[in-house]
């Protein structure tokens, strides 16, 4: 029995390793080509570069206005995610704990809205916010992310809050806490694992988002990282070397965070899906 399991495990590991290599291969390709010039890339895309030529990175770093774009991405992501978390946790809480018809209706309405394709709203969105002068501004973008992030975050919190026993809150209320105090003192701390999940999902989404910022942010100094990378590509031709380095520069921060926090991230997503 033991032996059979050992063989089985070996097969499993081999299968997983092969699949693993397939999953990692694209990143490897980007990495090696980010050190080569365009001509070498086109001649032999698989060749390991002979030396670490950082020209592409220097070029990409300056042309992308990297520090600026990085800071923009950081500000937008942090503020959007914090606001989405706080506001949607409160919303989900009231949806769960007050079974008013209107709350049920709003909850269903939000879930249903997850099926609206972004294409269907993007131009009206731009037109409406343009006419009230809210375009080309980071904070407008943050506001829009709150709106777009509402459904999923409320949905996930909703599932969790349902599973929290009522007794604690009732005790707090008897002690004279207002509903708001009860929420922040008792309920919100209990939601920690869900909050991590939502934070991760929303960070990944907002950090990488392209279409919405491309519509909202117009002047170059407002650009986020994905926008900067994207503007790196020419119309008819692709400067592969620069582009690969640009891709790496956009990926690196998130990979670093991922490597440091991988356990929390995977576990966060894990917990997020247990209702």
Cα four-point dihedral sign 30, 31, 32, 34: positive
Stretch 201-230 residues interacting with another protein (CB under 8 A)? 204, 208-211, 214-216, 218-220, 226, 229-230
Binding test (CB under 8 A) with another protein, winner from 53, 70, 75, 87: 87
User: Does 6 sit near another protein (CB under 8 A)?
Assistant: no
Please provide residue 134's backbone torsions phi and psi, each rounded to the nearest 5 degrees.
Answer: -110, 25
Give the pair of three-digit tokens for residue 38: 């365009």
Contact 93, 157 (CB under 8 A): yes
Residue closer to another protein by CB (options 75, 97) is 97
Stretch 108-137 residues interacting with another protein (CB under 8 A)? 109-110, 112-133, 135-136
| DSSP summary character for residue 31 | H
Residue closer to another protein by CB (options 191, 250) is 250
User: Does 141 sit near another protein (CB under 8 A)?
Assistant: no
| Shortest distance, position 253 Cβ to another protein, whole Å | 10
Stretch of residues binding another protein (CB under 8 A), selected from 50-58, 71-79, 168-176, 188-196: 168-176
User: Does 266 sit near another protein (CB under 8 A)?
Assistant: yes
Binding test (CB under 8 A) with another protein, winner from 177, 188, 258, 264: 258
Kindly write down the DSSP assignment for every residue of 163-214, as one continuous string.
TS-SHHHHHHHHTT--HHHHIIIIIHHHTHHHHHHHHHHHHHHHHH--HHHH
| Shortest distance, position 80 Cβ to another protein, whole Å | 11
Kindly write down the DSSP assignment for every residue of 59-93, as one continuous string.
HHHHHTTHHHHHHHHHHHHHHHHHHHHHHHHHHHH
User: Does 179 sit near another protein (CB under 8 A)?
Assistant: yes
Residue closer to another protein by CB (options 51, 263) is 263
CA atoms of 11 and 246, how far apart (whole Å): 38
Contact 223, 217 (CB under 8 A): yes
Binding test (CB under 8 A) with another protein, winner from 49, 68, 74, 106: 106
User: Does 58 sit near another protein (CB under 8 A)?
Assistant: no
| Shortest distance, position 79 Cβ to another protein, whole Å | 13
Stretch of residues binding another protein (CB under 8 A), selected from 50-58, 66-74, 186-194, 233-241: 233-241
Residue closer to another protein by CB (options 67, 181) is 181
CA atoms of 34 and 241, how far apart (whole Å): 5
Residue partners of 145: CB distance under 8 A and separation at least 6:
76, 80, 84, 202, 206, 212
Binding test (CB under 8 A) with another protein, winner from 150, 191, 196, 249: 150
């Amino acid at each position: 029995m033991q032996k059979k399991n050992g063989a089985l495990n070996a097969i499993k590991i081999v299968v997983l390793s092969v699949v693993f290599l397939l999953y990692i291969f694209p990143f490897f390709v980007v990495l090696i080509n980010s050190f080569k010039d365009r001509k070498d890339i086109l001649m032999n895309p698989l060749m390991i570069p002979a030396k670490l030529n950082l020209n592409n990175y220097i070029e990409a770093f300056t042309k992308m206005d990297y520090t600026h774009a990085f800071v923009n991405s950081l500000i937008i992501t942090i503020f959007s995610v914090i606001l989405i978390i706080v506001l949607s946790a409160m919303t989900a809480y009231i949806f769960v704990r007050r079974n008013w018809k209107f709350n049920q209706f709003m909850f269903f309405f939000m879930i249903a809205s997850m099926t609206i394709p972004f294409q269907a709203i993007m131009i009206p969105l731009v037109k409406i916010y343009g006419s009230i002068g809210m375009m080309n501004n980071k904070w407008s973008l943050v506001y829009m992310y709150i709106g777009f992030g509402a459904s999923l975050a409320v949905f996930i919190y909703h599932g969790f809050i349902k599973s929290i026993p009522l007794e604690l809150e009732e005790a707090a209320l008897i002690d004279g806490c207002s509903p708001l105090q009860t929420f922040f003192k008792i309920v919100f701390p209990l939601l920690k694992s869900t909050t991590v999940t939502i934070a991760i999902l929303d960070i990944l989404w907002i950090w990488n988002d392209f279409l919405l910022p491309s519509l909202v942010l117009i002047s170059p100094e407002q650009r986020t990282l994905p926008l900067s990378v994207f503007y790196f590509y020419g119309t008819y031709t692709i400067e592969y070397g620069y582009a690969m380095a640009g891709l790496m520069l956009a990926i690196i921060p998130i990979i670093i965070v991922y490597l440091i926090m991988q356990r929390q991230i995977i576990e966060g997503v894990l917990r997020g899906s247990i209702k």
